[in-house]
């Protein structure tokens, strides 16, 4: 099966340079609908779903391949190769920020710039590194997710989204989580929350924009500052937007920061 079919790839826009959008955990390409119109005149927009999400081919899921984020990074590279695109602007939200970093390390000439929205190289605190969670926190989170995925989704999605004064945003994320294949979602959660890509960051030379939200429970501000300190060629923008999904909660601010960087 080719990557275009496997990952439900959609291409739109009137530009020549490719801008590839990679969604976060429990989401799909629809999460970019408020962002992409601002770039369609100037870029070739490439959207896709990670396997197990959206309209991807679930039959293509390979537990061994996707036991680390490198499997997802390989999918990104396969999509780029099949489309024949280079000098790509990669836009990755949440866990896909690190997936983009891994893809750019594997094929640095493939990517011109990275936009990393709410990135975290490691969610668990280690010595002097603060990821935002203790190992016990993460183990408890994963245990809850494994035992009752739908219940976990309805509880956690609004917390991840933030913006309690706009409950429709939390409801959208909850619905997105609940549409994801539960068994794949459980495995992807373990891969995501137990990953540690801190050692990869100093190797990256691709110019990168870090978009850091305020009051983000998944990737707190200290994590964004760490990523900025560790990436040699990066710019950090601390947004007024709160929560973990500014692509939905603050599209105008997200677009403005991206356009300034690009």
Separation of alpha carbons 96 and 103, rounded Å: 10
pLDDT band of residue 118 (cuts 50, 70, 90) is very high
Say whether pLDDT at 220 is over 90.
yes
Q: Is the pLDDT of residue 45 over 90?
A: yes
In 174-227, the DSSP E strands lie at: 208-214
Provide CB contacts within 8 A for 235, sequence distance 6+: 207, 208, 209, 210, 228, 261
DSSP label at residue 160: H
- 56, 176, 216, 234: the catalytic one is 216
**pLDDT, position 199:** 97
Domain at 3-122+196-261, CATH from 3.40.50.1260, 3.40.47.10, 3.40.50.1820, 2.70.98.60:
3.40.50.1820
* Options 28, 93, 94, 228, the catalytic residue: 94
Let me know if 216 is a catalytic residue: yes
Confidence at residue 135, expressed as pLDDT on a 0 to 100 scale: 95
The answer to whether 94 is a known catalytic residue is yes
**Catalytic residue chosen out of the listed positions 50, 93, 228, 244:** 244
Q: Is 23 a catalytic residue?
A: no
Report CA torsion sign: 56, 177, 76, 195. Answer: negative
Poorest-pLDDT segment among 70-79, 134-143, 172-181: 172-181
- Residue 179 confidence (pLDDT): 87
Domain residue spans of the chain? 3-122+196-261
Q: What is the pLDDT of residue 1?
A: 77
Q: What is the mean pLDDT of residues 68-93?
A: 97
Q: Where are the beta strands (DSSP E) in 33-125?
A: 43-47, 88-93, 111-117
């Amino acid at each position: 099966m080719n990557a275009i079919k496997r990952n439900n790839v959609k291409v739109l826009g009137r530009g020549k340079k490719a801008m590839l959008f990679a969604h976060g955990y429990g989401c799909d390409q629809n999460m970019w609908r408020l962002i992409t119109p601002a770039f369609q005149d100037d870029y070739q927009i490439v959207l896709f779903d990670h396997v197990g999400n959206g309209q991807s081919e679930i039959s293509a899921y390979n537990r061994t391949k996707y036991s680390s984020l490198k499997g997802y990074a390989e999918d990104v590279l396969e999509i780029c190769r099949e489309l024949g695109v280079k000098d790509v602007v990669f836009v990755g939200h949440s866990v896909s920020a690190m997936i983009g970093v891994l893809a750019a390390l594997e094929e640095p000439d493939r990517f011109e710039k990275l936009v990393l929205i709410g990135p975290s190289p490691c969610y668990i605190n280690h010595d002097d590194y603060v990821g935002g969670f203790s190992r016990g926190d993460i183990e408890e989170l994963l245990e809850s997710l494994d035992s009752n995925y739908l219940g976990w989704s309805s509880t956690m999605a609004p917390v991840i989204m933030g913006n309690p004064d706009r409950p429709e945003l939390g409801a959208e994320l909850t619905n997105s989580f609940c549409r994801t294949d539960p068994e794949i979602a459980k495995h992807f959660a373990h891969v995501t929350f137990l990953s540690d890509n801190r050692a990869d960051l100093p190797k990256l030379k691709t110019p990168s924009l870090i978009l850091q939200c305020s009051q983000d429970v998944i990737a707190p501000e200290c994590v964004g500052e760490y990523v900025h300190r560790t990436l040699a060629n990066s710019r950090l923008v601390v947004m007024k937007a709160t929560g973990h999904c500014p692509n939905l909660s603050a599209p105008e601010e997200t677009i403005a920061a991206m356009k300034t960087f690009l």
